Amino acid sequence: MNQLYKFNEIINSSLVKETIKLLFKKQNTEILERPASFIIKLKNEPEDKIFRIILLPPRGFTSNEIDRLSPHPEAKIAKIEIKGGIKLDKKGFSLLKNVIKYQYYTTRNIKITGDEPYPKINGKYYQEKIISSKGKFFVTKENGVGFYHNLVNLSDEWVLSILEKELRLQKVPNLNKALKPLAKNEQKNFQSFYKKVLLYGDKIFQNDSQLVNNVCNFDVAKIIPPLIELLNVLESGKHEACTIFAIILKIGKNDNRVIKVSPLSRQ
């Protein structure tokens, strides 16, 4: 039975339906499919604090790949509550011991190596914790802990968790001034890139890698200001802000003379 077919059974189970009802009331929701997880969220989220449901399939994870950690520049703080496993014939969550592995770095200052935009598990700043059902913990803290992180389902069960995230001050990016130093064709390419980030989020690395490469090959001094402005993009669950952050770091691997960016600069 493939994962998507099983997901349709899970999402239509009475337990998940009741959880969605309790968390979101009667507001309109949508489902985002990640590489190895599913996110249930409001279609129109507040700009300060949001709640989401994370559904992890057996052996699923929240990052793009199991051995890489995603940055979260949009989050001020974020907490996870692991509700437990889902069985179609049960009305309550199954209590699972040592079910979620929280993989994280304890600092923002991680050097990216290789051609991938996100850091691999490596080095002295990497840590992990194993957490059971009903566990509550911070995945992102203001001091930088968990800025890069991944959640991994260690079990053969579908597991539901609830995310509570307090967002940094966000605004609609204003690119008018930042794009002026770019040539007309570069401005057009950048606007296309921005639309693709909104459409795909971090799937842009797979869906339109050539466009990403084009942007990365612009003059560094001219492309970094509009990219930093894009860190203000509203995050909808597709890792939009961390996509921009990853591209800045990707450019910085080759030329760090003009790149010094902190997620705190977005405020």
* Residue 188 sits in the same domain as residue 236: yes
Domain count, the chain: 2
* Structural domain containing residue 226: 184-266
Domain CATH number, residue 7: 2.60.120.10
* Residue 155 sits in the same domain as residue 193: no
Helix (H) or strand (E) holding 242: helix 240-254
pLDDT digits (tens, 9 = 90+) for 208-238: 999 999 998 999 989 999 999 998 887 888 8
pTM: predicted TM-score of the whole model, two decimal places: 0.81
3 state SS of 61: strand
* Residue 144 sits in the same domain as residue 195: no
Residue spans of alpha helices (H) in 127-239: 184-200, 204-207, 209-216, 220-230
User: pLDDT grade, residue 2 (50/70/90)?
Assistant: low
Residue 173 resides in a domain: no
pLDDT digits (tens, 9 = 90+) for 33-89: 998 999 999 999 998 899 999 999 999 999 988 999 998 988 999 999 999 999 998
Query: Where among 123, 142, 167 does a domain terminate?
Result: 167
* Residue 146 sits in the same domain as residue 26: yes
Query: Where among 118, 138, 167 does a domain terminate?
Result: 167
Residue 125 resides in a domain: yes
d(CA 41, CA 53): 7
The DSSP result for 38-54, as a single string, is EEEEESS--SSEEEEEE
